[in-house]
Amino acid sequence: MKTIYTQMKEIVSLLLILLLLSSCNEKKENTPITTIEEYRELRAEKLNQPRPVIFNNDGGDALMYPVDERYSKEYFLDKRSSGLLETDVSSIAYCTTSSGFGHFTRKTKAGEMLLESPFHSGIRKQYRNITGEMIAEGTDPLQATVDFSRENNYEIFWSNRMNDTHDESHRKDWSYFLWTDFKDKNPHYLWGKMSERTPHGRWSAVDYAQQEVRDKCVSFYREACENYDIDGVELDFLRHFQIFKSVGWGNNASQEEQDMLTDMVRQIREVTEEVGMKKGKPILVIVRVPTSPEFSKNAGADYKRWIEEGLVDIVAGSCYFRMDFWENFLKLGEGRDVKIYAGLSESRVKNFHPLLKRQQNAVFRARAAAAWAAGVDGVYSFNQYNTRVKYLSQIGAPEKLKNTNNLYFVTYRDYGAERYLKGGDNYFKMPRLSPSLKELVKFNAAPFSYDIEIGDESTPAEVYAAIYAEQVKAENIIVKINGTTARYKQSAEDNLFIFELDQSAVKEGMNKLDIAYDGKPGEEAILKDAAIFFCRDKEDVELRDLIAACK
C-alpha cells in the first residue's frame, strides 16, 4: 500500500511532467522558423483554414466611448467584441482608427497616438476617447482585442486604413481631433492646400509617390507585427481609395507609381515574413480593394499583380460601390494561393421605399447567399457597429440561408467611382438602380434589363418582385425573371407594386430581371428601385410590413 508521501511524490512528478510538456509545447509554438520554404508552407496551411466571416472593427469602441460611462476592459469589449461570441465570425480585423495617416489608438512610436476626443473639436460631445485610460492601465484597444481573440479562439488581424481622410475638416482656426503632426509639418506631402477641393479624392490625403510616406507606412506594419500577437495585417485601401496625388488631379497612375506601391506592398509582405519567422508563426496579409482590377490599377493599386506575385493572402472586394459581379471577381484567384472574400459594407442608399430598406437582416442574408453561390471563400463585414445583429449568426455558411427570408436588390451600394478616378464610373460592369441616384431612370426609354445575383433559393418559398415606381399604372408594368412573366398581385402604399414570381423560374447565380411598360408612359414615369423577396417565415417581425404588403 502506497504511503501518503509516495502518493504526494507521484503527484508532484506528474505535475512536473505536465509542466515540462506545456513548456515544450510553448517552446515549439515560439521556436523561430529557420527557412522561408518552411514558413511559406506553414502560411499556406494557415491560409487554408476555414474563416467564413471576417469582422472589421473600425476602432469606434475606443474612440467613441460614452462620456458618462466608467471605463473598464469588460465594458470596452462589450461595445464591439463580446457580441461576436456564438456568431459565425471567425476572424476580427481591428482598426486602430488610423484616420490622419499613422494616427493610432494603440501604443506607437512609428506613428502618433490618437488621444484626443471628438469633443476637443466641439463635436459628438457624448463620446470620449479612452485610449489614454487604457494605456495608463497597461493595455490599449488593440492589445485588449488581441487578448479577447486569444481567449475566445478568434483570429486577429491589425487593420490599417491606408489613406483615411475623415480629417479633411481640419482648418487653421479649427483643429480637428484626427489631424496629425505629420501632416501639419509636411503639407507638401498632401494632395492639396488646406480646404482645397481636388477633382478627385480629398486635399488631406497623403501622396504615396513620396518615399517618406511609403517608408513610414511600412514602419507601421513592422511595429504592429513585432509588438502584438496578431495573425495577420490588413491594408485597407478603401478607406479611402486615394493613393497618388496625380490621380487626384485627373490623371491615371503611371507605371512608375504603380511600381512604387507594389514595392511597398512587397516590403510589407517581407516584414510579415521576417517577423513571422522570428516569432515562429505565419502572419497573413489582407487587402481591401475595389472589385475592378482595371479601375484599381489605374488609380495606382495593381492588386492583380500582387496576387500573381504572391504578395497577399486574402483579397476582400467592395465598399462604397461594387463594380463587378462576384463570379468575375473570383476569377482573379483561380490557380493562385489566395482567398477571395465578398465585402458586405453597410448600405447608404437614401430615399428608399419604407418597405425596401437595405440595412436589415434579410438583405445581408441575401447578399451573403449570392456571394456564397458565386463561390467566394468567405464574407467580410464592414461598418457593422451592432455585433449582436442577427445576420452575423446566419451568414457563415450557405446552408444556413436556405430556410430564411431573403431580400435581394439590383444595387446595394450606390456611390459612384468618379470621386476617386477620372472616368471611374466607366468601369462599372454591374447595373446601378437606386432611389438616391441623381440620374433618373425614366420609363420612356427602352425596357430595362438588369442582371441580379441570387443565392441557393431552392427551398420552397413564396417569391415576389417589388417594383418601386412613380407616375405609372400598375396594369402597364411588365416584369419578367429569366423570360418568365410575373403576375401582378397588388399595389402597396407609396408607389410600390407587388408581383408574384414562379420560384422555378429563378435560378442560383445570375438572373435576368426585365422591367417594361406596356403603352406610352408619361414624361414623369420613373423606375426607382427593384427587389426580389423570398418569403418563408411569415412571422418575421422585422419584415412584417413587407410580408403584409405581399399577402
- At 490-542, the pLDDT tens digits run 999 899 999 999 999 999 999 999 999 998 888 889 999 999 999 999 999 99
Q: Which helix (H) or strand (E) holds 514?
A: strand 509-517
Model pLDDT, residue 29: 58
The alpha carbons of the chain give a radius of gyration, in whole angstroms, of 26
For every residue of 88-138, DSSP letters joined together read SEEEEEEE-B-TTSSEESS--SSSEE----GGGGTS-TTEE--HHHHHHTT
* Cβ neighbour number for residue 12 with a 10 Å cutoff: 10
Nearest to 357 by CA among 543, 535, 515: 543
Residue 522's pLDDT is 85
Inter-CA distances, 70 with 65, 75, 115, 330, 405, Å: 9, 8, 17, 46, 40
The pLDDT of residue 439:
81
* Consecutive H or E run containing 60: helix 60-63
Low-confidence ranges of the chain (pLDDT < 50): 1-9, 11-27
Secondary element (H or E) of residue 56 = strand 53-57
| Predicted structure pTM score | 0.94
Question: Which of 176, 156, 160, 300 is closest to 228 using CA atoms?
Answer: 156
